[in-house]
Structure 1
């Protein structure tokens, strides 16, 4: 799935040690807002120090986030996880981002009509 919009919040990083493997982990959450008539927000996370550094997400950036949705249970409650696996910067020339409307296509020239015999004319 994909979501395109502007980063409006960067939450504090979370980290810990895995109970099963004993390895350290780090995750960073971000909030992105789209540019629809009724804007929607989505909170997603990036898991792993290497991915956090690779994506290098900054406040105010226009991004397209590719993500997976998953749910997990903890203490008889269910929680959704929206994990980004690819981040793409939206180009500055994108009309959605810049706010400038897309110009309408240029009108095509009118075809020339050549008068012919009266029998070629339509009866109406």
Structure 2
């Protein structure tokens, strides 16, 4: 999937003790009822945001991820995230540096809901 819009906000890189890193961006869509969409880039994909600035018009290729979490009281909650894996400057069609042209590989968790 892909989303086209204007960069509203770029957050700083978050680094964790485990070595995990992520950076988030807010993209405002251009439609009658525009939406502010939070998209995260993780691990080596953080580098894709190096040359991106607020007010840039870009196309972000995304995957939607979902996960289940059980709180200490035993209540199960579900969370979704939008992860970017490729960026193109929309006006020029120029692809951002260090881009992976194929989506990240799927894990066995991605097929848990298939009926076969």
Please confirm whether the aligned pair reaches a TM-score higher than 0.5, indicating the same fold: yes
Deviating beyond 4 angstroms after TM superposition, the runs of 4 or more aligned structure 1 residues are none
Unaligned residue ranges in structure 2 (runs of 5+): 93-116
Aligned counterpart, 2:48: 54
Q: After TM superposition, list the pairs within 5 Å mapping 1:1-124 onto structure 2.
A: 1-18=1-18, 24-48=19-43, 50-56=44-50, 57-74=52-69, 75=71, 76-91=76-91
| Whole-angstrom distance in 2 between the partners of 1:72 and 1:15 | 21
Q: Quickly say closer, same or farther: Cα 1:55–1:14, change in 2 above 3 A.
A: closer
Unaligned residue ranges in structure 1 (runs of 5+): 19-23, 93-124
Q: Quickly say closer, same or farther: Cα 1:13–1:90, change in 2 above 3 A.
A: same
Number of aligned residue pairs = 87
Question: 1:34 Cα shift?
Answer: 1.0
SS in structure 2 of the partner of residue 52 of structure 1: helix
Superposition RMSD in Å: 1.9
